[in-house]
Amino acid sequence: MLSLVHPWPAQGRADRPTDADPVADVAIRGCRSVAELYSEAVAGLGLPSRVGELRLFHRHEPALDHVRATVHVDPGPEGFEVGHVQVPTAFADRTPEARAQVLLDAMHGMVCRLAAARGWDVGALERCRRHVVERGMEYHWSSQPKASPDRRHTAYAELRLPPDGYGRVRLLVARRDDGTVVASSDEALAFCTSQGFRRSAASLRWSGKDHVSLVPYDWVPAVRGGLVGLTRDADGWHASVEDYLAVRPVPAGDPGLPALDVVVEGAGATAPEQVPEVTFVGGGPIESRRVERFHRAFRAEMHRFASPAGQEWWGDSGLRLLEVQIFYGGDRPRVRGRRTDQRLAVFVDRPGDSLPIGDQAPVAREVVEEVAALVRRRTGLGPHPGLSRG
């Protein structure tokens, strides 16, 4: 069942950018809370799926004046569904609330488009969108109470995920008999996922009946720390908070700016709205310096192959997708293809020992020319405009 919709990369250190591009960084971090809430609701729908998650990849696209959301509707080899969200430069100028609303619209639109391709009940997904809105687009979670050794008090953690994409945790103590809160700490920095919230809550410990503490920031063992504590003496309960890291801020934005439009579309050979496109899928395994150098040269040649002129050339093929992938293995160098109704997939086999030791560019260019020759044989296209031998 589809049970998880989330931005990718899913996690990172609070004191470092999640993405090198500052606008994409704001988008990824702003998506986390909305995605946690949406996932909370979508998991209850029981949507049948071959994979359990939809990963959202965010990218800054300066040429846009709106948000463009694209979800791949073809079943692929990955263990997850794939969506792409392109945001304009002006995205970061909006307030956190406006950014969250735009990201929710994009997320909900992509899941609905995926639903149309998978045969799910699109109407049921409205409950997911409403679930996010009704909770103010900020994810909150509370742990189960843990009793003190004398059974007179319980302690629990309250966590939330604000727009900067990193959690905040507060430790509370309540009387066990009537639930009245008698002590509360200030907030400490927590991790950026609901799983991290649960790991932090699991660290809650009583040390005798008068002291309780937890570790607020919990990612991996090497990046785990801070301390939140509540201690009772003759004067009552006292709180202490030690943060492990400092979180990077996000822009406050201008509340006077209008909302950004969101355009959602499907992608893939089975998506009618898919425009003809040439894509270099990538390849591997890259297990030596020689392969790494060749892969860089081949990627550069594929960039030329998939240039605007190359895309226009492919547009006359009558197919939607041309996907090229390279494998640094096999028993011999070769280029092979597989054509389906609206897709031509080209596979390049290049064993590592068949690659030159010196200049890689000429061989990479020859391989791309072989790719173009195969495409022409399979489609009847003329010479590629950017290659000497077409």
pLDDT at 168 over 80: yes
**pTM for the full model?**
0.82
Sort strands 262-267 and 211-214 into parallel, antiparallel or unpaired: unpaired
pLDDT at 389 over 80: no
How far is residue 364's CA from residue 371's CA, in Å, rounded to a whole number?
11
Sort strands 81-87 and 139-142 into parallel, antiparallel or unpaired: unpaired
Contact 202, 192 (CB under 8 A): no
Collapsing DSSP states into helix, strand and coil, what is residue 99? helix
Query: What contacts 115, CB < 8 A, 6 or more positions away?
Result: 47, 121, 122, 125
Contact 321, 279 (CB under 8 A): yes
pLDDT at 293 over 70: yes
pLDDT at 366: 94
pLDDT at 6 over 90: yes
Query: Helix %, strand %, coil % for the chain, to 5?
Result: 30, 30, 40
pLDDT at 270: 86
Contact 174, 182 (CB under 8 A): yes
Contact 274, 78 (CB under 8 A): no
Helix (H) or strand (E) holding 142: strand 139-142
- Mean pLDDT to the nearest integer, 201-226: 95
pLDDT at 106: 98
How far is residue 241's CA from residue 14's CA, in Å, rounded to a whole number?
17
pLDDT at 266 over 90: yes
pLDDT at 133: 97
What residue type is assigned to position 255 of the chain? P
Spatial CA neighbour of 168 closest among 148, 145, 138, 147: 138
pLDDT band at 10 (very low <50, low <70, confident <90, very high): confident
CA 117 → CA 30, 64, 94, distances in Å?
A: 27, 27, 32
Query: What contacts 80, CB < 8 A, 6 or more positions away?
Result: 51, 52, 53, 54, 55
pLDDT at 390 over 60: no
pLDDT band at 240 (very low <50, low <70, confident <90, very high): very high
Contact 147, 173 (CB under 8 A): no
Collapsing DSSP states into helix, strand and coil, what is residue 28? helix
Spatial CA neighbour of 182 closest among 168, 195, 172, 196: 172
pLDDT band at 387 (very low <50, low <70, confident <90, very high): confident
Overall size of the chain counted in residues: 390
pLDDT at 161: 98
Kindly state the percentage of the chain with pLDDT values over 70: 99
DSSP letter string, 313-328: HHTTSS-SEEEEEEES
Query: What contacts 332, CB < 8 A, 6 or more positions away?
Result: 349, 351, 354
- Mean pLDDT to the nearest integer, 315-339: 93
pLDDT at 388: 64
- Mean pLDDT to the nearest integer, 25-44: 97
